[in-house]
Structure 1
């Protein structure tokens, strides 16, 4: 009898243990949000990343800018971060220290693609340097969105940017107004390869040529957006053309550099300066009247619309090929306006 009771007790314990294991396996598994590094380690290199993310995972979008440290890019990043939070995606945002570092930006793109993103958003320093890489990514189902300078049309499905031709034209209108419709202008640009940089100058020149026959553009030089180089460009420009009455600059670096050059040459009272973008130095000089005014973009809106567009493409929605993120003229008279002030970054 004791042996029989022992056997029965043993069988009962085994059955109870089996029921316990079964109940544990039926509980839903709890998964932590997937990190970018984990996703890249688990997915094959040629994975079709256009497929919907697994339940509990956020789709990953890689965003690569022309630069990173400048406040403009930080403002773009803040808009992108907000869109990511609103739309339930995970993003990375990076860019090289200098907006001339083509090789470093290419390496950043390759690394980002190694993490198998659902979409890549990029402002390319050199379109040709990334064209083949992005075309290969598109072939794997990765969505490609250009922002700011963008990428080649063949490589992207949409571009979210300031209409740089229109922005250059807007600057020309105000420059012409400052000159009373006649005079001589010099241009200090920042790049002859970055698409939006080129268009800011082309838009300006085309508007002057079309509508202001008594205004002459007498010199055009480039300082790579570097303060020191742009200062030297402005000084040499004035030495060669002392009758220049206004200088148009195509970005913050060119503007602050030209401002410094004019100041060193004691020409600030003689030459009007029209800028592009903003910074603490530009805002202070515009308030004081030493810089006549500038064109500002909407970097926060640009970042937001870029991520929003990428998500729409990932969801199979149609989007416009070009999404204009807007531009505005600001000077001492309107820079504190509630519609303008939030767009002026330091």
Structure 2
């Protein structure tokens, strides 16, 4: 039989002090979400979806992440602090699946359902994963790249990391599709910029210096993609094809300006909403699918204003 857990530290008008001096638990189910970061507009959109679900289901949801997606230790501290509040369930987007394993095992031992979002976790502990099919999405990006460079030439990848599930899947989805379908396309380099625009800019410039005849770049998340755009601009290589991932004001503008050919957009609001919805279902003992695919789309200058596409883009 399920016993509802609540956040003892929550501020609630219904909380009173018992004779023992211990505050009674707040009356709302508490579900914290620990994201991979908070600096990119993508995460703000995920938070908006989580907040929407919290309001709809009348539960308490918090959302936080480290300042940058390179701060694995800080994210682990946030996960530990969230678990210490004994939540009903927890949402987690892992920067490093292996580093998080001991805490996830702790959650499991305390019967706190774990919902993975955006980045899956290399473990069977999560009840479900709410995410984009990143392998398929990156394969579509590879197909678009091939078409735009005439199915031959040199390309490179600037990826946010090689420890998260999203970094691994987007890299591998793109690389495997190119190798399987386009023998005349050569992947000359894969570099990791921690999703940081400045770092990704410098990486891009160094790759262009090493391969001045390069035809295309794939930036595997928002920060990586904008870094590639800036690196190509600073190198004054206007004919290089750039394909990005995610949305945000800068990427949308780059596409409208013709600097970026197009990008894959996820459904970040949907990711946040479905994570909270799945967590609540798990709390109630209801069945939850092992993977919840939140979808993806290709967008470029030709369809960026299409209502179906505009609905999943964000600033």
1:304-319 equivalences in 2 (<5 Å):
304-319=273-288
Distance 2:196 2:58 in 1: 38
Give aligned pairs, total.
Answer: 300
Pick aligned residue for 1:74 from 38, 44, 51: 44
Give the equivalent residue in structure 2 for 1:297: 266
State whether residues 36 and 60 of structure 1, in contact with CA within 8 Å, keep that contact through their aligned partners in structure 2.
Answer: no
Q: CA deviation at 1:152?
A: 2.9
Give the equivalent residue in structure 2 for 1:172: 142
In the TM superposition, what whole-angstrom CA distance separates every residue of 1:225-261 from its partner, at most 9, and x where no partner exists? Answer: 1112111111111111112111111011111111111
State whether residues 34 and 92 of structure 2, in contact with CA within 8 Å, keep that contact through their aligned partners in structure 1.
Answer: yes
In the TM superposition, what whole-angstrom CA distance separates every residue of 1:71-107 from its partner, at most 9, and x where no partner exists? Answer: 1111111111111122222111111111111121111
SS at match of 1:257: helix
Distance 1:79 1:321 in 2: 20
1:189-228 equivalences in 2 (<5 Å):
189-228=159-198
Distance 2:75 2:272 in 1: 18
Q: CA deviation at 1:150?
A: 2.9
Give the equivalent residue in structure 2 for 1:19: none
Distance 1:292-1:38 versus aligned 2 partners, 3 A rule: closer
Unaligned runs of at least 5 residues, structure 2: 1-5, 17-24
Runs (4+) off by over 4 Å: none
1:1-346 equivalences in 2 (<5 Å):
36-37=8-9, 57-267=27-237, 269-346=238-315
- Which stretch has the larger CA shift, 134-143 or 298-307? 134-143
Distance 2:75 2:206 in 1: 32
In the TM superposition, what whole-angstrom CA distance separates every residue of 1:161-202 from its partner, at most 9, and x where no partner exists? Answer: 011101110101111111122222111111111111111010
- TM-score norm. by structure 2 comes to 0.91
Q: CA deviation at 1:322?
A: 0.9
Higher relative helix content: 1
State whether residues 83 and 308 of structure 1, in contact with CA within 8 Å, keep that contact through their aligned partners in structure 2.
Answer: yes
Cα RMSD for the two superposed structures: 1.9
Distance 2:91 2:30 in 1: 11
Distance 2:131 2:290 in 1: 11
- Which stretch has the larger CA shift, 150-159 or 319-328? 150-159
Distance 1:188 1:152 in 2: 23
Distance 1:238 1:183 in 2: 14
In the TM superposition, what whole-angstrom CA distance separates every residue of 1:294-314 from its partner, at most 9, and x where no partner exists? Answer: 111100000111111111111
Distance 2:105 2:30 in 1: 19
